[in-house]
Chain A
Amino acid sequence: MARAATGISNSGHQRMQRYSFFGLARHAASFHEHWQRAWRNPVMKPGYDVIIVGGGGHGLATAYYLAKNHGVRNVAVVEKGYLGGGNTARNTTIVRSNYLWDAAAHLYEFSLKLWEGLSQELNFNLMFSQRGVLNLGHSLQEMRDIERRVTANRLNGIDGEVLTTREVKALVPLINDSPAIRYPVLGASWQPRGGTARHDALAWGYARAADNLGVDLIQQTEVTGLRIEGGVVTGVETTRGPIHARKVACVAAGNSGVLAAMAGLRLPIESHPLQALVSEPIKPVLDCVVMSNAVHAYISQSDKGDLVIGAGIDSYNGYGQRGSLPVVEHCLGAIVELFPAFSRVRMNRNWGGIVDTCPDASPIIGTTPVEGLFFNCGWGTGGFKATPGSGYVFADTVANGRPHPLAAPFSLERFHTGALIDEHGAAGVAH
């Protein structure tokens, strides 16, 4: 291991030291003082083949797949803050693929399949845990919608079952199954392959693997303008000076609209605060993910023991990375009704992220009227689960200059053709 770490790879930098049990033991013997940096802190070059704007999970995944699948290694990821510091660090880490419409189901299921081998591929423990995801139904109409969605999922080869109240109670003994509560649990959809993952690890894993393939990760550098000449993108302006590029790929979540405006484009996106909170750590009490669209609450328990709780979006537009307390109050009211045992649990932290929501609750992936400029945005409340698939299809789109077949339905043009992918039912708010 140590010898391998000193080798120089053909991309001119130190080869990635693989993480393993034996490596851990070896480093323990030297008091963990000689671990290799997970990635370099490179000096910005004057130009690249591809610049990716935004160093969150999606941007880093795009960089990794560009280098790995398409041999495009002269790539920079330009991040205004630090890697994975935006919505990647702010979500509630739920992974699932039970979306209604074919286009969305195929994209999210493709992503879930990538998740299943990703820890091994990246040599980074993503703590991906397929503990199962429950989506509760609280009314007859919601149960009908759940039956429709599960049937559609199964036709698309996605696992799913419709559970009764009794079966939900058997899975989650703590849940309040009384028919007398305001929103009684009438049943649920159940996706056993869904679950949770470590959100930071996803960004770090992709960053480390991309860096190993020669991608430059440029942090603390904000893109302040796009260079466009004659309808062709030629680079970006940053707070550390201009960078030349043949292609620019924007993956900036809530700030996508600001970037689009730099190119004179408009996106059908509105940015909203989405809040989440974690409790103090408690003993293991909840071994799957429980979500409810109707009451705008979802909950899981992390490996540390914290209850990770997500609320709905704030209705108003905002870039402030914080929301209003009434939304949190509404969410916690619903959680306490569903789980009376949690009423005395204290909350440790509450935060907000800025989600870029599209009118049809589906993302925008693809080309733009500006040649060489690509956008991947509009993931709204549900981007985390899609990170691997998003990066994979977006890298393909950027490398070949045309949409990947899975990404084709998610073009910007759909808002003019009317071919929307309405996932409010499956995406809704709950993530």
Chain B
Amino acid sequence: MLRIHCPYCCEDRAEEEFVYAGEAGITRPLAPEQLDDAAWGDYLFFRTNPRGAHQEMWFHASGCRRYFKVLRDTVTYALAASCRMDESLPLPAVDVLP
């Protein structure tokens, strides 16, 4: 069971209140019609899937119903930080991929 900190409600709440919403920091291209198939496929389907620190989005479905960002370790499942969508997560300085 994860206990996730919602930066809007300002408290740790049980995982069941939240819905996972995928990797954070994926920006939809402003002009999709100008992309080639490779760039569009990369945007749609390719994620970093790191073994270690992962920045991701969660939706507080049973709470404030707002999206926010979380920094979580995908091996230990420890949550390092949460922030609002317009803020930046304190990303680790080194890439944790082995």
Determine if B49 is an interface residue (Cβ-Cβ < 8 Å): yes
Determine if B93 is an interface residue (Cβ-Cβ < 8 Å): no
Q: How far is the CA of A51 from the CA of B14 in the complex (A)?
A: 45
Shortest Cβ distance from A354 into chain B, in angstroms?
A: 10
Determine if A317 is an interface residue (Cβ-Cβ < 8 Å): yes
Pair B54/A320 contact, Cβ less than 8 Å? no
Q: Which B residues touch A317, using CB under 8 A?
A: 23, 49, 54, 56, 74
Pair B98/A318 contact, Cβ less than 8 Å? no
Shortest Cβ distance from A148 into chain B, in angstroms?
A: 25
- The stretch from A1-9, A110-118, A263-271 touching chain B is A263-271
Pair B19/A318 contact, Cβ less than 8 Å? no
Q: Which B residues touch A318, using CB under 8 A?
A: 74-75, 77
Identify the closest chain A residue to B14 (Cβ).
A326
The one of B19, B41, B49 in contact with A271, judged by C-beta atoms closer than 8 angstroms, is B49
Pair A266/B1 contact, Cβ less than 8 Å? no
Q: How far is the CA of A267 from the CA of B48 in the complex (A)?
A: 9
The one of A267, A315, A319 in contact with B20, judged by C-beta atoms closer than 8 angstroms, is A315
Pair B15/A324 contact, Cβ less than 8 Å? yes
* Residues A224 and B98 in contact in the complex (CB < 8 Å), given A315-B20, A326-B15: yes
Q: Which A residues touch B15, using CB under 8 A?
A: 324, 326
Interface positions, chain B 58-98, Cβ under 8 Å from A, are 72, 74-77, 97-98
Pair B46/A261 contact, Cβ less than 8 Å? no
Q: How far is the CA of A326 from the CA of B23 in the complex (A)?
A: 21
Q: How far is the CA of A317 from the CA of B2 in the complex (A)?
A: 13
Q: Which A residues touch B19, using CB under 8 A?
A: 315
Pair A326/B49 contact, Cβ less than 8 Å? no
Identify the closest chain A residue to B73 (Cβ).
A320
Q: Which B residues touch A269, using CB under 8 A?
A: 49
Shortest Cβ distance from A407 into chain B, in angstroms?
A: 19
Q: Which A residues touch B2, using CB under 8 A?
A: 316, 324
Determine if B38 is an interface residue (Cβ-Cβ < 8 Å): yes
Determine if A417 is an interface residue (Cβ-Cβ < 8 Å): yes
Determine if A415 is an interface residue (Cβ-Cβ < 8 Å): yes
Q: Tally A residues with Cβ within 8 Å of B.
A: 25
Determine if A418 is an interface residue (Cβ-Cβ < 8 Å): yes
Q: How far is the CA of A119 from the CA of B77 in the complex (A)?
A: 40
Pair B76/A324 contact, Cβ less than 8 Å? no
Pair A319/B45 contact, Cβ less than 8 Å? no
* Residues A258 and B45 in contact in the complex (CB < 8 Å), given A318-B74, A319-B51: no
Pair B49/A320 contact, Cβ less than 8 Å? no
Pair A359/B74 contact, Cβ less than 8 Å? no
Interface positions, chain A 281-337, Cβ under 8 Å from B, are 315-320, 324-326
Shortest Cβ distance from B53 into chain A, in angstroms?
A: 11
Pair A326/B37 contact, Cβ less than 8 Å? no
Identify the closest chain B residue to A358 (Cβ).
B45
* Residues A320 and B76 in contact in the complex (CB < 8 Å), given A359-B45, A418-B41: yes
Q: How far is the CA of A317 from the CA of B76 in the complex (A)?
A: 11
Q: Which A residues touch B38, using CB under 8 A?
A: 416
* Residues A268 and B46 in contact in the complex (CB < 8 Å), given A316-B20, A325-B1, A416-B37: yes
Shortest Cβ distance from B9 into chain A, in angstroms?
A: 19
A selection of 27 A-B contacts at a CB cut-off of 8 Å is A257-B49, A258-B97, A261-B97, A266-B46, A267-B46, A267-B49, A268-B41, A268-B45, A315-B20, A316-B20, A316-B72, A317-B49, A317-B56, A318-B74, A318-B77, A319-B74, A319-B75, A320-B74, A320-B77, A324-B1, A324-B2, A324-B15, A326-B1, A415-B44, A416-B38, A417-B41, A418-B37
Binding site for B on A (CB under 8 A): 224, 255, 257-258, 261, 266-271, 315-320, 324-326, 359, 415-418
Q: What 4 additional pairs, Cβ within 8 angstroms, besides A270-B47, A326-B15?
A: A319-B74, A320-B76, A416-B37, A417-B41
Binding site for A on B (CB under 8 A): 1-2, 15-16, 19-20, 23, 37-38, 41-42, 44-47, 49, 51, 54, 56, 72, 74-77, 97-98
